[in-house]
Amino acid sequence: MGVNVVPASVQRYVGSYRMSSISVMRIELQKGQLFALSSGTPPQKLTRLSSHRYRFGRYDAYVRFAVNSAGQVNGLVFQQNGAVTEAPRIGGGGVDAVKKLVAERVHAQTATLGSASALRHLIRSIQSGKPDYSELSPQLAAGTRALLHHLQAKLTPLGALRSVDFLGVNSLGWDRYVVHLQHGTADVDIALDAYGIVVGAGITHLREDSRPL
C-alpha cells in the first residue's frame, strides 16, 4: 500500500497566524491537503497556485506565505476584495494570549470601550453611503465597499438610528447589539481591536416594523 509523503516545503506552512488581536488563522494538513481554519467559519481548502501562493476555498481570496531568506515561514498575507491583511506567525504562547483575551471578554460580558460609538457611526455612514474606511480594518473596509449598496438597501428603509442596546459578547469575543431605528431593529455584532479599529461587523437579523399601507 502506498504512503503519501507530504513535501517539507508544504509542511512548513502548518502553524498559527494572528489575523487580529482576537482572531487566529490555523493552517493544518489533512491527508496531505492544506486547510485554513478560523473560529466561527468552516475549514477552507488551500489550492496551490504558485510558489507560496494559494487560493482560499472557492472565494476570490488568496493566501501568500511570507518566507525569509533562510526558508522559514514567518507570516502570511491574506488578500480579498483588493485588501491585504498581514498576519505574523505565532507560537503556542501567542495563540494562548489570543484565546485568553477572547475568553476574558466572553466571561466578563462587558462591551468593548468605544464599540457602541463605533457601531452608531458605522450604521449612519453606511446609510449615507459614505463610510469612514479609515476606521475599519483593510479586509472589513474592502468588504464594506463591495457590499455597500446591498447594506444600504437593508438599512435605509428602516430609517434614522435612534439608539443601540448592548446584548452581550458572543463566543468569538464580538460585542452584540440591537440597533433601534425609526422603522425597525437590527441585530449587529461588532469587534474592535486594541487600537479601536473595527475588525469585524455583521448584521445577524433585521426586523422591520409593520406599517399600514
| Chain segment 14-27, per-residue pLDDT in tens | 999 999 999 999 99
Per-residue model confidence (pLDDT) at position 149: 95
Residues 161 and 121 in one domain: yes
Per-residue model confidence (pLDDT) at position 212: 47
Task: State which residues form the domain around 20.
Answer: 8-103
Cα angle 88, 92, 26; round to 5: 55
Per-residue model confidence (pLDDT) at position 1: 43
Residues 91 and 124 in one domain: no
Per-residue model confidence (pLDDT) at position 141: 93
Per-residue model confidence (pLDDT) at position 210: 59
CA distance 103 to 82: 32
Residues 199 and 115 in one domain: yes
The answer as to whether 213 is a domain residue is: no
* CATH number of the structural domain spanning residue 68: 2.40.128.50
Residues 81 and 126 in one domain: no
Residues 98 and 117 in one domain: no
Distance set, CA 65 to CA 29, 48, 124 (Å):
15, 11, 37
Distance set, CA 36 to CA 26, 43, 45, 62, 88 (Å):
6, 6, 6, 11, 15
Residues 139 and 173 in one domain: yes
The number of C-alpha atoms within 13 Å of 98 and in the hemisphere containing its C-beta is 21
Domain boundary among 50, 73, 103: 103
* CATH number of the structural domain spanning residue 132: 3.10.450
**pTM of the complete model:** 0.85
Residues 85 and 148 in one domain: no
**3-state SS, one letter per residue, for 126-194:** HHHCCCCHHHECHHHHHHHHHHHHHHHHHHHHHCCEEEEEEEEECCCCCEEEEEEECCEEEEEEEEECC
Per-residue model confidence (pLDDT) at position 51: 86
The answer as to whether 197 is a domain residue is: yes
The answer as to whether 49 is a domain residue is: yes
Residues 98 and 161 in one domain: no
The answer as to whether 84 is a domain residue is: yes
Cell of 102: 477572547
Domain count, the chain: 2
* Digitized pLDDT (tens) for each residue of the chain, 213 residues in all: 444 545 677 899 999 999 999 999 999 999 899 999 998 789 999 999 998 999 999 988 999 999 999 889 999 999 988 889 999 999 999 999 999 999 999 999 999 999 999 999 999 999 999 999 999 998 899 999 999 999 999 999 999 999 999 999 999 999 999 999 999 999 999 999 888 999 999 999 999 885 544
Domain boundary among 49, 81, 103: 103
